[in-house]
Amino acid sequence: MIRPALILWIGLPAIVTIALLLVSYQVQRLENELERLERAAMAQQEEIHVLNAEWSYLNRPERLARLAARHLELTPVSPAQMSSFAYEPIFQGFEK
């Protein structure tokens, strides 16, 4: 009569202990993974920051003007090329 209860009370802690052990190993693994990902994310952030600076450096108006003059057949916009729908009689009245 005492046997099943005894088995239960010895078996239960054993199962719980093993489960706890497994969970704690899993947590440790996940923590290592998290740390690795965080380091990678930080490195990425830093890289993005540096690339932003480089992007700005490459987009210097002076450089763009130089490159456009060398490679593109574009000239500065003349006043006659600029207009707005609001200024064109054909579109007037459409806004309301």
Partner 1 sequence: MSELSVRAWRDAAGEMSTGEGAEKLSARDARRPLETARTRLLVAGAIFALCFVILGGRLVQLSLLGDGPHMAQTTQHQGDLLTLQRADIVDRNGALLATNLPWQSLYVDPTLVLDADEAADKIAGVLPGLTRDEIFEKARAKGSFRWIRRNLTPEQYYAVNRLGLPGFGFKREERRVYPHGSLFVHTLGFAGVDNSGLAGLEAARDQDLKQLAQSHGGALVTSLDSRVQHIVNAELAAAIAEFDAKGGAGIVLDVESGEILALSSLPDFSPYDLESSLPDHRFNRATLGVYELGSTFKAFTTAMALEYGVVDLNDRYDATKPLKVSRFVIRDDHPQNRWLDIPEIFIHSSNIGAAQMARDVGAKRQKEFLGRLGMLSALPLELIENGRPLSPRHWREINTMTIGYGHGIAVTPLHLINGFATLVNGGIQRPPTLLRKRGEAIGTRVIARETSDAMRALMRMVVEEGTGRKAEAEGYLVGGKTGTAEKAVAGGYKKNALITTFVGAFPMDAPRYAVLVMLDEPHGTKATHGYAGAGWNAAPVVGRIVSQIAPMLGVMAILPADEDEEETERLLVRADGEGRQFASF
Does 55 bind partner 1 (CB under 8 A)? Our answer is: yes
Q: If binding is defined by CB under 8 A, does position 75 make contact with partner 1?
A: no
Q: Is residue 27 within 8 Å of 33, Cβ to Cβ?
A: no
Q: Which of 18, 19, 20, 37 binds partner 1 (CB under 8 A)?
A: 37
Q: Does the protein bind partner 1 through residue 21 (CB under 8 A)?
A: no
Q: Which is nearer to partner 1, 18 or 31 (CB)?
A: 31
Q: Which stretch binds partner 1 (CB under 8 A): 3-11, 33-41, 67-75?
A: 33-41
What is the rounded CA–CA span in Å between residue 75 and residue 48? Answer: 34
Name the residue among 31, 57, 50 with its Cα closest to residue 42: 50
How many residues make up the chain in this entry? 96
Among 3, 70, 78, 93, binds partner 1 (CB under 8 A): 78
User: Cα 62 to the chain's mean position, in Å?
Assistant: 31
Of the candidates 76, 96, 73, 92, the one whose C-alpha atom is nearest the C-alpha of residue 84 is 92
**Residue ranges in contact with partner 1 by CB under 8 A:** 37-38, 41-42, 45-46, 49-50, 52-57, 59-62, 65, 76-84, 87-90
